Amino acid sequence: MFDILQYVAIKMKQLGVKSYTCKPVYFKDLAAQSLNLNANNEYYLLLNATFAVGLTIFSSDEFINFPNPAEYQNHVAYRYQIFTGQIQVSQLANIDVEFLRIVPDGEQDISKEEILRRREILMQELKELLQTDKKTDN
């Protein structure tokens, strides 16, 4: 089975974060159409198992639009995406949204370019981890 905390540990290491704290964040029964989060110097990992059509999430460096809920289940980039900076979640009415909030305990010690390079490596490792997980489930 996929271990989300193992994924977080890998991601934080690649982002140059030496220590961090994880806290669940759950938005339930929101009547509002949008939600704004200030995630400067922290990260939000999307945890939802399903989503409704039309939900959109923007951040300083990521974007997700859910045109088809079934598509979400099959895409690694959707299922385990980390947002940072200014995050806006739109089309929220009657949709529950769950994140894992990751707060670094100190400053990052690597450049933005190195973070992007490590991110590419992480995506490959995540795909391999999920493929291994599928094989062990069968």
- pLDDT (tens digit, 9 = 90+) per residue, 52-99? 666 778 787 776 666 666 665 666 555 677 888 888 887 666 677 888
pLDDT value at residue 61: 74
Please provide the CATH number assigned to the domain covering 19-107. Answer: 2.60.120
Residue/partner pairs of 72-79 with CB below 8 Å, 24 or more apart: 72/48, 76/123, 76/126, 76/127, 76/130, 77/123, 78/46, 79/46
**What's this model's pTM, rounded to 2 decimal places?**
0.68
Residues 6+ apart with CB under 8 A from 25: 44, 98, 99, 100, 101
pLDDT value at residue 89: 83
What are the C-alpha distances in Å from 1 to residues 4, 97, 112, 128?
Answer: 9, 22, 32, 13
pLDDT value at residue 23: 93
pLDDT value at residue 22: 94
pLDDT value at residue 24: 92
pLDDT value at residue 50: 66
pLDDT value at residue 21: 93
Could you tell me which of 128, 118, 136, 134 has the C-alpha nearest to residue 10? 118
Rounded CA-CA distance 74/96 in Å is 20
Residue 102 has pLDDT above 90, yes or no: yes
Q: What tens digit of pLDDT does each residue of 118-127 get?
A: 777 877 877 7
